[in-house]
């Protein structure tokens, strides 16, 4: 093997990419989030309206347009495919790992420390789960790391380049998910005097550059937001400038959780590292002498605390600050302040594998989890074999690569098990193809309840599926369109007539009824009052 090939295969990004790549092509977009974002991108392509996103034909103010632009750009190369979004997400994730490596090197650490940080990041369970997800936070994490690279330029006195790179990272982050990018990068920038000697000597120049970079980022965001607000109207302008920023902080319309929620979920999200890392207090104190460790902690800890006081909370909101943890831990491992012991991880993997192998007999009776009964025990057996091999070789596997590869392998097994176990239960393509055939035939169609655009991309629909939110509205529509068809989820409404089409979907069944049957047989909502609320806030 040539030295070039040997060096390429030794790069951590290569095995990481190989472990993440299969999911790109085997896991269909999952409802309701991934299918919704693809539907917005699809409507953008169909309408040619690239400035203001739409969903179900209405203005979509919940998110800025960058993800939808990138998906459409990807479709120019791949054709219109669901896996294009996953492939893009894998690209962002690998870019984030490369940026983590670059940042560690820029902070004066060794190549070994940089590789260790990459392995720590790749091995964090939450990163491994979302690395191929069609989600905004995956892209946002890359933008935050670009901004951090620019912050390092500012700290080193390269003001021009620092302002440009930091501003681009912030500006592109605004286009990815809004002003939250400023909070994601703020503490890394504001705490620079505690991790950079150069900033301590010349703080004025540094903070002036940081302020200029924030203004540049704001200008990039406004370059889209102002024309979009003019195009979308007053309600859309209010939504993108106020409701989706200040509203999330003070009175989030969704995902409201107590202030301590992130402290509760963060340790499981960081697995396997809480199980494998060992160190002494003296060693940890020595680690704090390293600028990279201080940066990682001063960036992550205050940011998580700040997010804890934001009303709306979701686990994936923390994805952009996980690199700070990876940088701190990777440097501490490489310098010997932390050691890796995989015995406990091996036991945990075996236990998890045994539990997974027993799922067909332990599957819950709840409808949305009934698919667990179809999961092959083979997946659990493979995990047991993996854990057993890890235990047998535990004394020889004390590098950061080992826990990372184990976690990436487990996540791959889990996602393959989901693909095998769910079958078509969470794939909207079958019901969406029926809807497309109805649209092509010209028959009137109505959906009962808000559907998040779940059918739009899956069926490559020429027009959004109209919907009503109340049973009375549906009765009136059915009476006015006796030749029409009604589509909906059976688990949410009971129709007094058998459907003409029915298929398992999302823990229940999607069904299609003749409108005349609905008008004659009636409809009874399974929820309170017959109304399905249109969500104000989505993620």
Span 95-138, pLDDT tens digits: 999 999 999 999 999 999 999 999 999 999 999 999 999 999 99
Mark which of 335, 370, 395 sits at the end of a domain.
335
pTM above 0.85, yes or no: yes
pLDDT of amino acid 536: 43
Note the pLDDT of residue 176: 95
Helix, strand, coil share of the chain (percent; to 5):
65, 10, 25
| CA pair distance 50, 303, nearest whole angstrom | 33
CA of 119: how far to CAs of 112, 333, 383, in Å?
11, 11, 20
Claim to verify: residue 248 and residue 384 sit in the same structural domain: no
Q: Indicate if 136 and 232 belong to the same structural domain.
A: yes
Answer yes or no: do 439 and 393 share one domain.
no
355 and 312 in a common domain? no
Q: Which of 31-35, 190-194, 249-253, 456-460 has the lowest mean pLDDT?
A: 249-253
Query: Which residues make Cβ contacts (< 8 Å) with residue 228, sequence separation at least 6?
Result: 51, 52, 65, 236, 240
DSSP letter assigned to residue 470: B
Residues 297 and 152 in one domain: yes
Give yes or no: residues 112 and 241 share one domain: yes
Select the more confidently predicted residue: 3 or 220.
Answer: 220
- Contacts of residue 21, defined as CB under 8 A and 6 or more positions apart, other chains included, come to 90
Q: Give the residue numbers spanning the domain of 272.
A: 13-335
State pLDDT tens for residues 444-496: 999 988 888 899 999 899 999 999 888 788 888 888 888 999 998 887 777 77
CB-based burial label for 6 (10 Å; 0-12, 13-18, 19+): exposed
Is 186 contained in some domain?
A: yes
Same domain? 399 vs 514: no
Final residue before a domain boundary, out of 388, 422, 456 = 422
Which segments of 298-353 are extended strands (E)?
339-340
Residue 309, domain member (yes or no): yes
Residue 37 lies in a domain: yes
Angle at alpha carbon of residue 175, lines to 172 and 176, rounded to 5°: 85
Q: Are 129 and 142 in contact (CB under 8 A)?
A: no
Domain match, 137 and 281 both:
yes
Q: What's the total number of domains in the chain?
A: 3
Domain boundary pick from 307, 335, 363: 335
Same domain, 392 and 438: no
Is 8 a member of any domain?
no
Let me know if 521 is exposed, middle or buried by CB neighbors in 10 A (0-12, 13-18, 19+). middle
Whether 414 has a pLDDT exceeding 50, the answer reads: yes
Q: Which residue has the higher pLDDT, 457 or 312?
A: 457
Domain-located, residue 536: no
Matching residue, tokens 């034909």: 57
Same domain for 272 and 130, yes or no, is: yes
Residue 163 and residue 79 share a domain: yes
Whole-number average pLDDT of the chain = 87
80 & 228 share domain: yes
Residue 79 located in a structural domain: yes
Residue 80 falls inside a structural domain: yes
E-strand spans in 189-235? none
Mapping DSSP onto H, E and C, the string for 36-52 reads HHHHHHHHHHHHCCCCC
Pairing of β 339-340 and β 485-489: unpaired
Please check whether residue 532 lies inside any domain of the structure.
Answer: no
Q: How confident is the model at residue 532 (pLDDT cuts 50, 70, 90)?
A: very low
Question: Does the structure show a pLDDT above 50 at 429?
Answer: yes
């Amino acid at each position: 093997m040539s030295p070039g090939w040997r060096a390429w295969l030794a790069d951590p990004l290569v095995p990481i990419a190989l472990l993440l790549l299969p999911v790109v092509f085997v896991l269909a977009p999952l409802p309701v989030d991934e299918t919704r974002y693809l539907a917005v991108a699809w409507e953008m392509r169909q309408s040619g309206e690239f400035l203001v996103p739409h969903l179900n034909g209405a203005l979509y103010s919940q998110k800025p347009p960058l993800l939808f632009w990138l998906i459409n750009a990807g479709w120019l190369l791949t054709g219109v495919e669901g896996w294009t979004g996953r492939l893009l997400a894998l690209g962002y994730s690998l870019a984030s790992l490369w940026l983590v490596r670059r940042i560690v090197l820029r902070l004066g650490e060794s190549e070994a420390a940089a590789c260790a940080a990459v392995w720590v990041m790749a091995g964090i369970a939450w990163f491994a789960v979302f690395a191929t997800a069609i989600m905004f936070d995956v892209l946002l994490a890359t933008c935050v790391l670009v901004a951090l690279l620019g912050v390092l330029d500012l700290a080193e006195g390269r003001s021009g380049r620092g302002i440009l790179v930091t501003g681009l990272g912030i500006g592109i982050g605004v286009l990815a998910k809004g002003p939250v990018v400023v909070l994601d990068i703020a503490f890394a920038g504001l705490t620079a005097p505690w991790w950079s000697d150069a900033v301590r000597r010349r703080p004025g120049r540094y903070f002036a550059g940081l302020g200029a970079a924030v203004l540049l980022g704001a200008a990039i965001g406004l370059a889209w937001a102002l024309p979009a607000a003019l195009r979308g109207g007053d309600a859309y302008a209010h939504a993108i400038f106020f409701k989706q920023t200040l509203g999330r902080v003070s009175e989030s319309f969704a995902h409201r959780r107590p202030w301590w929620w992130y402290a509760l979920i963060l340790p499981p999200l960081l697995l396997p590292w809480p199980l494998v890392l060992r160190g002494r207090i003296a060693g940890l104190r020595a680690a704090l002498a390293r600028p990279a460790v201080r940066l990682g902690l001063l960036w992550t800890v205050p940011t998580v605390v700040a997010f804890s006081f934001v009303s709306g909370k979701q686990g994936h909101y923390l994805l952009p600050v996980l690199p700070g943890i990876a940088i701190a831990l990777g440097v501490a491992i490489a310098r010997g302040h932390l050691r890796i012991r995989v015995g406990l991880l091996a036991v945990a993997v075996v236990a998890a594998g045994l539990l997974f192998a027993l799922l067909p007999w332990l599957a819950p009776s709840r409808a949305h989890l009934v698919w667990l009964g179809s999961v092959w025990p083979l997946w659990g057996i493979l995990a047991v074999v993996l854990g057993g091999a890890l235990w047998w070789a535990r004394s020889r596997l004390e590098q950061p690569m080992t826990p990372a590869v184990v976690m990436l392998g487990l996540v791959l097994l889990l996602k393959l098990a989901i693909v095998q176990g769910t079958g078509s239960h969470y794939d909207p393509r079958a019901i969406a193809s029926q809807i497309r055939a109805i649209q092509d035939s010209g028959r009137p169609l109505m959906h009962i309840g808000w559907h998040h655009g779940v059918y739009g991309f899956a069926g490559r629909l020429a027009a959004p599926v109209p919907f009503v939110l109340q049973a009375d509205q549906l009765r009136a529509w059915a009476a006015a369109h006796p030749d029409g068809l009604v589509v909906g989820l059976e688990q949410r409404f009971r129709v007094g007539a058998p459907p003409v089409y029915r298929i398992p979907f999302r823990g229940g069944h999607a069904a299609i009824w003749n409108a005349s049957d609905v008008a004659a047989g009636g409809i009874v909502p399974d929820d309170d009052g017959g109304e399905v609320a249109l969500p104000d806030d989505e993620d």
